[in-house]
Amino acid sequence: MAQNSPAKSLAPVWSGFGLITILVVVTLVAGVNYLNIIQEIFQFATGTLPDPNGTDNVLTIWTTGVAIAVIGLILSIASMQIVQRVAGDNSSFVDLDAFVSIGPATVFSVMVIEETFRWLFVRVGYGLFAPNTMAFYILALTANTIWALVHLTNFTDPKDRHPIRVLPQFIAGILFTYVMVKYSFWWAVFVHISGNCILFSMMKKQDVRPSTLINTIYYSLAGLAGLIALLARGNNLQALTPWLEGNYQPLAGFTTLDYILVDLIVTSSFIAVANILLLDSEKESTKGLNPIRGCLMAIMMVALVLGLNWGLGFVIGEPFHRVTIMAAMFMCMTETKSGSELTRRWFITLPVMFVFIVATSTLGFWIGLWILVASYAYNYLPSLIRLAEDEIIKAIEKKIAEEAQVEAARKAALALRRYRTYRGYRRNY
């Protein structure tokens, strides 16, 4: 598809606003009260410290964190309008493509480092040197001002490094500080990454292909079939609530087949949503279609999850934290090529991996293995379709290149013939 085609130019906008819409709908359905959150953030910004979170319900904190990320993004976009009015437009902002293409491990680590810097001021500094509200706000404003000014290095032209340009980063920093005070350091990291990944969703490199539509239909039907089968067996997705709340126990009335159906529903639904949002996906490899290799990788994956869960248990007592760490580790193991693919990893791959790791660490080796083998089976056809499409595109590009070479050779031969004719004409006269 041409670089300047309308479909591709609209795809980033579709991805960004589509993702925001879905996140808002999901959080509203989950019971998040946006007005209460906005009111508490305003009170925090005007001098009233929030009460620490009184619930350990992971689902409640997760949905609230996503809502705060959306609110922060909207505030940042609004503040950018102020920046443009005061400092004008600029064309020297650093190209972020190279940054987001280095992979999730490095990109997310940068955000962890920023929150660590903020934590040193907010938590350590406040706790050790200044246990009062005024000192807290002085330290918080100092930390956020320093880190916001660091973002001026994103502008390659010194003339564009006006302090007002980092107002969006300063506002976002205040929001992360609020989350850190009310919830925890790691939830501040979560909100930080979530907000950035919403922006990254618009940084696309892949064209919109026919296989995207075909695979979206396939995964939608697969997820629907799995849901119907699960309901027919007398179970439903509401049974997963304890897992989402951090209570990892075998689900009542569930058999191995039910867990496989849950994985099918969750995986298919998330992939279908990612495809609808036109988020970039990982490049398929023919190695992934080898069934023997797939089974061996499944065995290794399940063994690794159980081994890590056992090892982390000596230093991390909370199961939710162990599962989250493992899901993040596996999510960061491979490279990404664009911001859009990074967004897919965070909002799609991470939840799917989270559910699988909970199931494996809770239910044991064999159920975890059967879940992965089944996952390999129902993902086989979409992978095959994408690989076939890649081969067709390569063949077309090769033919176009060959035709271009033939045409170039023809033009060169014609030019040479004309040149020789011209020299012969000059020699005769």
Q: Do residue 219 and residue 162 come from a single domain?
A: no
Q: Do residue 179 and residue 313 come from a single domain?
A: no
Residue 245: the pLDDT is 78
Choose one of 135, 170, 200: the last residue of a domain: 200
Choose one of 172, 200, 228: the last residue of a domain: 200
In angstroms, the CA 410 to CA 285 distance is: 38
Residue 7: the pLDDT is 46
pTM, full prediction: 0.85
263-318: pLDDT as tens digits: 999 999 999 999 999 998 877 665 667 788 888 888 999 999 999 999 998 998 88
Tell me the mean pLDDT in the region 121-125.
76
The kind and range of the H/E element at 52 are: none
Q: CA-CA distances (angstroms) from residue 210 to 4, 217, 281, 391?
A: 18, 11, 14, 14
Q: Do residue 279 and residue 317 come from a single domain?
A: yes
Backbone angles phi, psi at 332, to 5 degrees: -90, 5
CA geometry: angle 273, 176, 101, nearest 5 deg:
50
In angstroms, the CA 348 to CA 45 distance is: 32
Q: Is a pLDDT exceeding 60 seen at residue 425?
A: no
Does residue 371 lie within any of the structural domains? yes
Q: Do residue 130 and residue 170 come from a single domain?
A: yes
Does residue 1 lie within any of the structural domains? no
Choose one of 170, 200, 230: the last residue of a domain: 200
**Domain, as residue range, for 150:** 6-200
When divided into structural domains, the chain yields a total of: 2
The sign of the CA dihedral 135, 136, 142, 146 is positive
What region, left, alpha or beta, does residue 414 occupy, with left being phi > 0 and alpha being psi -120 to 50 degrees? alpha
DSSP 347-365: IIIHHHHHHHHHHHHHH-H
Does residue 129 lie within any of the structural domains? yes
Does residue 407 lie within any of the structural domains? no
Q: Rg of the chain's alpha carbons, rounded to an integer?
A: 26
Q: Is a pLDDT exceeding 70 seen at residue 6?
A: no
Backbone angles phi, psi at 93, to 5 degrees: -65, 135
Q: Do residue 220 and residue 310 come from a single domain?
A: yes
Q: Is a pLDDT exceeding 80 seen at residue 410?
A: no
Q: Do residue 375 and residue 261 come from a single domain?
A: yes
| Tokens linked to 34 | 């946006």
In angstroms, the CA 314 to CA 356 distance is: 22
DSSP 208: P
Q: Is a pLDDT exceeding 80 seen at residue 347?
A: yes
Does residue 137 lie within any of the structural domains? yes
Does residue 425 lie within any of the structural domains? no
Q: Do residue 181 and residue 248 come from a single domain?
A: no
99 three-state secondary structure: helix
Does residue 31 lie within any of the structural domains? yes
Residue 2: the pLDDT is 40
Q: How far apart are the first and last CA of the chain?
A: 53
215-271: pLDDT as tens digits: 999 999 999 999 999 999 999 988 888 888 778 889 888 999 999 999 999 999 999
Q: Do residue 274 and residue 157 come from a single domain?
A: no
Does residue 295 lie within any of the structural domains? yes
Q: Do residue 161 and residue 242 come from a single domain?
A: no
Tell me the mean pLDDT in the region 187-202.
92
Q: How many residues does the chain have?
A: 429
Q: Do residue 288 and residue 362 come from a single domain?
A: yes
Q: Do residue 101 and residue 192 come from a single domain?
A: yes
Q: Do residue 216 and residue 353 come from a single domain?
A: yes
In angstroms, the CA 268 to CA 359 distance is: 17
